[in-house]
């Protein structure tokens, strides 16, 4: 038997019978930025990022994989680039693959000892995110930054640790270029 693929992943297009779509506005994620909302001068409905995902197996399936695409809009809040919330995986040892598709960005990584570093992302760049490493992405370009991700179906997302303590470094636009600096 020969059948058509159930998922099409072509550039920044992810197509399947059921694509889950999440939209994160500034109002949804304003607390991830150090810059206070009163100074930010950003519309609360401004889209910061969108995530489209396909879940071929139920959540928490051991051995299963999920696939998704994240589109981060261009812009800054104060001098902080638009970015994702970021998370550790709930099951800490679960790793993940990120893949740069369009535009340019940065992958910000932090271990459990709060050491933070970053990798440039661009079309064709591939990033192996080891288990026990928190990950967040930022758009450092002037156009939409899109990247693909593949992660274990049972990884889960621990957002609380990051929303409580943040990453130990933040990515800011300094003299027009990205700089990773200590969180004030």
Q: Using CB under 5 A as the criterion, which residues of the chain lie in contact with Zn ion when the complex forms?
A: 96
Q: Which of 33, 77, 84, 140 is in the footprint of ligand PAN by CB under 6 A?
A: 84
Tokens 């489209």, residue? Answer: 52
Which residues 6+ apart lie within 8 Å of 102 measured at CB? 11, 12, 123, 143, 144, 145, 146
The answer to whether 85 contacts ligand PAN (rule: CB under 6 A) is yes
Choose from ligand PAN, Zn ion, none: what does 140 bind? Cβ within 5-8 Å by kind. none
Task: Retrieve residue 35's tokens.
Answer: 């810059």
CA–CA separation, 67 and 177 (whole Å): 31
Measured from the Cβ of residue 141, the count of other Cβ atoms closer than 10 Å reads 18
Q: Which does 85 bind (CB under 5 to 8 A by kind): Zn ion, ligand PAN, none?
A: ligand PAN
Please state the closest distance from residue 96 (CB atom) to Zn ion, in A: 5
- Closest distance between ligand PAN and the C-beta of residue 140, in Å? 15
Out of ligand PAN, Zn ion, none, what residue 116 binds, judged by CB under 5 to 8 A for its kind, is none
Interface pick for ligand PAN out of 9, 33, 42, 68 (rule CB under 6 A): 68
Contact, 129 vs 44, CB < 8 A? no
Distance CA 134, CA 116 (A): 9
| Site of interaction with ligand PAN (CB under 6 A) | 51, 68, 70, 84-87, 96, 135, 137, 149, 151, 155, 157
């Amino acid at each position: 038997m020969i059948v058509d693929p159930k998922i099409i992943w072509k550039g920044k297009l992810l197509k399947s019978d059921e694509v889950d779509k999440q939209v994160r506005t500034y109002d949804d994620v304003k607390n991830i930025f150090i810059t206070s909302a009163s100074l930010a001068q950003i519309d609360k409905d401004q889209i910061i990022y969108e995530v489209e995902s396909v879940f071929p197996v139920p959540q928490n399936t051991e051995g299963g994989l999920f696939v998704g695409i994240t589109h981060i809009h261009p812009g800054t809040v104060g001098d902080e680039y638009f970015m994702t919330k970021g998370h550790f995986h709930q099951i800490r040892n679960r790793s993940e693959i990120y893949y740069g598709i369009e535009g340019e960005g940065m992958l910000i990584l932090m271990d459990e000892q709060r050491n933070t570093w970053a990798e440039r992302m661009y079309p064709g760049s591939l990033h192996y995110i080891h288990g026990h490493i928190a990950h967040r992405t930022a758009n450092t370009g002037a156009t939409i930054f899109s990247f693909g991700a593949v992660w274990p179906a049972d990884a889960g997302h621990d957002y609380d640790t990051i929303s409580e303590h943040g990453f130990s470094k933040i990515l800011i636009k300094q003299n027009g270029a990205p700089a990773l600096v200590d969180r004030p």
